[in-house]
A and B are shown apart, each in its own frame.
Chain A
């Protein structure tokens, strides 16, 4: 790590070259752990593919894919302990799955069952946030509450490059820094906010450089390099856990697919640009390295592929079935005890339903 904060916020930290070779001077990663990381990358990629396929089949309404960003998705989950919290966005389904939540539960939201399909308390994963950057403040609050109680919880808060333009991004960074909250902000800079390129969001030297204004470290890292991400995020988590406050990490990555299936990326970016990023694929980089290191062979790859297929089959089965919804549940959770007005409205709906059934 360099001593100059601005250099650290601008220079992209990397451990594996795009070719899969170890960057000179970087210590060799533990191959056992990296094979596990690779397994998670394959699962994340498979989940992205499966979910996108389910959209094409009309099973899901929409899926914001993190294809190309799987290293970020895997790393942000694997650096956390059981007592830590993850605050994901709509694009972070694979990160939630990497944290151990059943992808069927996560994706059931996009089948239209309910606005959140998993129990956030059990998994210590907040509901996926759609209003951009708003969740970052919740992350600060969770972290600050933990610190007030003397707990060493760390909170990983995710957002995109576009979200850094929102006011809540600024407020969250500032609050976290002022209260020395144990939060790691991970900005997945995938270069676009729907159609709007990074250059229209910010002319700062980097997004990580914004950290300097808040008085916290900003680190820029290759977002397609699992080894570098594990290292950078791991250090940021350790700082937070030790009471040294927040870190802003910018991961330099790329959104390989359209924003969602409803988007048409050909209107605002070129095939050449996309092709360039194919060469920087986060999976192949680790795969090449592990194969060269003799830590990954065909047999192990087959095993991993089989696990991924099994996961995908489970997702297909889980989401292929039509889940029944309970209309009366509309009124169940708005308040701890439904208001008299909701009780009345529920009775009205009940009558309508009885009439429908008759």
Chain B
């Protein structure tokens, strides 16, 4: 229990270092990832320690970065590219949806793209406009992409290692608000499989389903509920695609109630997909309709309004309160 404490940025940095050391095909590039070490310092020191061949700055062009990564992956490399912020990944969207996601299928598996697109993700940092978007639904909706969002620093390390080792392209969503919070990280714990959710807190009365930055919020809500006599479980999806229906359904069947928590606007969202999947699979075990607690269907707000937008403990507990408790035996 006395593993070193690291921030998520350090855990990700360690994962990149270990991957660069383990496999000569791994290369890291993007905007400001060289001498500066990335605007969030995730690539800190990689250029110094691994050299220009393995970690380098590119011209400022996101489509160019992702498009070049496609070509490098076609030719034997394992590129790990950094998008500077979630909204600044949008210029690369055509490359992502038309090529990154489709090339393996188009070529019947002859050209697989073992590449990772790292994206600082979601809100809660008081960012100015275009610095706090939750873009997971676009990627999750695109067949061919793997979409991962770690919630703990240990998972940030393990899942990034797994993403780099994956034969498929991975969109790796890094919750910005976690970058600088310290937690214990056991880098020797082994690489977790992508596609398995994990129960962060067992709970008999209802299951909160979350991923990325919403996991600690859900845990805080469960903590609070416990003081009020309600036993809420928290499920951390870790990967949105592939989606772990098995674990999710097993948990919800056990508890009979589910609330999905996510920062992104709820309409046509990943949270909606989860609610639908749970309803289809667990209908006869449910005491109440599945609820979603998400961001409002508005553009990401200015910093002073952020706390009203983001799903918080109170809003989660209000939703939990509506889950037909009076009918329960």
A350 at the interface (CB under 8 A from B): no
Chain-B contact segment, one of A73-81, A166-174, A257-265: A166-174
B56 to chain A, nearest CB (A): 9
Partner of A121, one of B69, B110, B166, B243: B110
B180 to chain A, nearest CB (A): 32
- Mark contacts of B60-102 with chain A using CB atoms, 8 A cut-off: 1 yes-contact digit, 0 otherwise: 0101101111111111110100000000000100110011001
B58 at the interface (CB under 8 A from A): yes
B103 to chain A, nearest CB (A): 7
Closest residue of chain B to A117 (Cβ to Cβ) is B108
B3 at the interface (CB under 8 A from A): no
- Mark contacts of A146-185 with chain B using CB atoms, 8 A cut-off: 1 yes-contact digit, 0 otherwise: 1011000100000000000001100110110010000000
B245 at the interface (CB under 8 A from A): yes
The number of chain B residues with a CB under 8 A from chain A is 49
Q: Tell me if B53 and A148 are in contact (CB < 8 A).
A: yes
Q: Tell me if B59 and A137 are in contact (CB < 8 A).
A: no
Closest residue of chain A to B106 (Cβ to Cβ) is A115
Give the complex CA separation of A329 and B107 in angstroms: 12
Q: Tell me if A171 and B63 are in contact (CB < 8 A).
A: yes
- Mark contacts of A135-146 with chain B using CB atoms, 8 A cut-off: 1 yes-contact digit, 0 otherwise: 011111111111
Q: Which residues of A contact B107 (CB under 8 A)?
A: 116, 119-121, 127, 333
A11 at the interface (CB under 8 A from B): no
Q: Tell me if B67 and A140 are in contact (CB < 8 A).
A: yes
Closest residue of chain B to A128 (Cβ to Cβ) is B106
Q: Tell me if B67 and A138 are in contact (CB < 8 A).
A: yes
Q: Tell me if B74 and A126 are in contact (CB < 8 A).
A: yes
Q: Which of A141, A149, A332 is packed against the most chain B CB atoms within 10 Å?
A: A141
Q: Tell me if A142 and B72 are in contact (CB < 8 A).
A: yes
Given contacts A121-B110, A145-B76, A333-B104, contact A175 B167 (CB under 8 A): no
Q: Which residues of B contact A329 (CB under 8 A)?
A: 108
A299 at the interface (CB under 8 A from B): no
Give the complex CA separation of A153 and B104 in angstroms: 23
Given contacts A131-B98, A172-B64, A334-B143, contact A141 B106 (CB under 8 A): no
Q: Tell me if B144 and A145 are in contact (CB < 8 A).
A: no
Q: Which residues of A contact B106 (CB under 8 A)?
A: 114-116, 127
Chain-B contact segment, one of A28-36, A49-57, A194-202, A335-343: A335-343
Q: Tell me if B109 and A141 are in contact (CB < 8 A).
A: no
Q: Which 5 A-B pairs have the closest CB atoms?
A: A141-B71, A137-B67, A171-B64, A138-B71, A145-B75
| B interface residues with partner A (beta carbon < 8 Å) | 27, 53, 58-59, 61, 63-64, 66-77, 79, 91, 94-95, 98-99, 102-112, 143-144, 146, 166-168, 195, 241-246
